[in-house]
């Protein structure tokens, strides 16, 4: 990627950033779920609900993160496809 592509927004960098966001989100979901489970297990008044919420967070958190990141990637794939179609239309009109 050269400077002209960077400044003219011809090449998107956000799909790469989305991959980083995905792994950070997965890590945060797992860490959050484990903290909830440990906090619930160490609760003196019984933290059964907190343990269950922690287990749900361990399963649903990464799933929600994945769906969110996939939706963002789809938007950028649509943009790339539209640019490709636009390029083909311009080439056909020049002939």
Task: Quick: pLDDT tens for 40-78.
Answer: 999 888 788 999 999 999 999 999 999 999 999 999 889
Residue 6 lies in a domain: no
Structure tokens given for 60? 């649903």
Gap between the Cα atoms of 95 and 84, Å rounded: 17
Residue 1 lies in a domain: no
Q: Give the gyration radius of the chain's Cα atoms.
A: 22
Give the closest residue to 68 by CA, choosing from 22, 27, 24, 2. 22
Gap between the Cα atoms of 15 and 40, Å rounded: 37
pTM over 0.85: no
Residue 57 lies in a domain: yes
Provide the number of structural domains found in the chain. 1
Instruction: Give the domain extent around 53.
Output: 14-84
Q: Are 58 and 87 in contact (CB under 8 A)?
A: no
């Amino acid at each position: 990627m050269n400077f002209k592509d960077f400044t003219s927004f011809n090449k998107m960098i956000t799909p790469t950033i989305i991959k980083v966001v995905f792994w950070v989100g997965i890590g945060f979901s797992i860490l959050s779920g484990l903290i909830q489970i440990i906090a619930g297990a160490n609760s003196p008044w019984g933290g059964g609900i907190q343990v269950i919420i922690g287990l749900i967070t361990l399963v649903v958190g990464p799933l929600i993160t994945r769906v969110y990141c996939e939706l963002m990637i789809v938007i950028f794939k649509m943009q790339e496809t539209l640019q490709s179609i636009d390029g083909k239309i311009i080439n056909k009109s020049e002939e």
